[in-house]
Structure 1
Amino acid sequence: MIAYSTSKNNIELEGILSLQKANLKIGLSEGEIESQGFVTVNHDLKTLKKLNQIEEHIIAKDGEKVVAYVLSMTKKSRFDIPILIPMFEVFDKVVYKVKLLSAYNYMVVGQVCVDKDYRGKGIFGDCYSAYKQHHSEKYDFAITEIAKTNLRSLNAHKRVGFKEIVSYTDPNKIEWIVVLWDWKNSR
Structure 2
Amino acid sequence: MSVIFTSAQNDEDLRKVLELQRQNLYKNTPSEYQQDQGFTTVEHSFESIKKMNDALPQIIAKDGDLLVGYALVMPRTFGQLIPELVPMFDIISGLAYDEKPLSEQRYYVMGQICVAQSHRGQGIFDGLYAEHKRQLSGEFDLCVTEIAVRNTRSTRAHERVGFRTIHAHEDHIDLWNIVAWDWR
TM-score range, shorter chain: over 0.9
When residues 137 and 147 of structure 1 are mapped into structure 2, their CA distance, relative to the original with a 3 A threshold, is same
Encode CA deviations 1:60-97: one digit per residue, 9 max, x unaligned.
00111110000010111100001111111111221112
Q: Which residue does 1:183 correspond to in 2?
A: 183
For 1:104, give the aligned amino acid. Q
Q: Which residue does 2:120 correspond to in 1?
A: 119
When residues 101 and 62 of structure 1 are mapped into structure 2, their CA distance, relative to the original with a 3 A threshold, is same
2:82 equivalent to 1:81: yes
Q: CA deviation at 1:3?
A: 1.2
Mapped partners of 2:55, 2:105: distance in 1: 17
Q: Which runs of 5+ in 1 are unaligned?
A: none
Mapped partners of 1:168, 1:48: distance in 2: 26
Mapped partners of 1:157, 1:16: distance in 2: 20
Mapped partners of 2:116, 2:17: distance in 1: 10
Root-mean-square deviation over aligned CA pairs: 0.8
2:31 equivalent to 1:30: yes
Mapped partners of 2:75, 2:69: distance in 1: 20
Q: Which residue does 1:163 correspond to in 2?
A: 164
Q: Which shifted more, 34-43 or 100-109?
A: 100-109
Q: CA deviation at 1:48?
A: 0.2
Paired residue secondary structure (2:127): helix
Encode CA deviations 1:12-71: one digit per residue, 9 max, x unaligned.
000100100000000111110000000000001110000011101110001111100000
Encode CA deviations 1:108-138: one digit per residue, 9 max, x unaligned.
1100000000000011101110111000110
Mapped partners of 2:26, 2:50: distance in 1: 22
1:1-187 aligned at under 5 Å gives the runs 1-170=2-171, 172-184=172-184
Mapped partners of 1:80, 1:173: distance in 2: 19
Q: Which runs of 5+ in 2 are unaligned?
A: none
Mapped partners of 1:77, 1:66: distance in 2: 25
Aligned residues: 183
Mapped partners of 1:10, 1:26: distance in 2: 25
Mapped partners of 1:102, 1:26: distance in 2: 33
Q: Which runs of 4+ in 1 moved over 2 A?
A: none
Mapped partners of 1:122, 1:92: distance in 2: 31
For normalisation by structure 1, the TM-score amounts to: 0.96
When residues 139 and 117 of structure 1 are mapped into structure 2, their CA distance, relative to the original with a 3 A threshold, is same
For 1:45, give the aligned amino acid. F
Paired residue secondary structure (2:145): strand
Q: CA deviation at 1:142?
A: 0.3
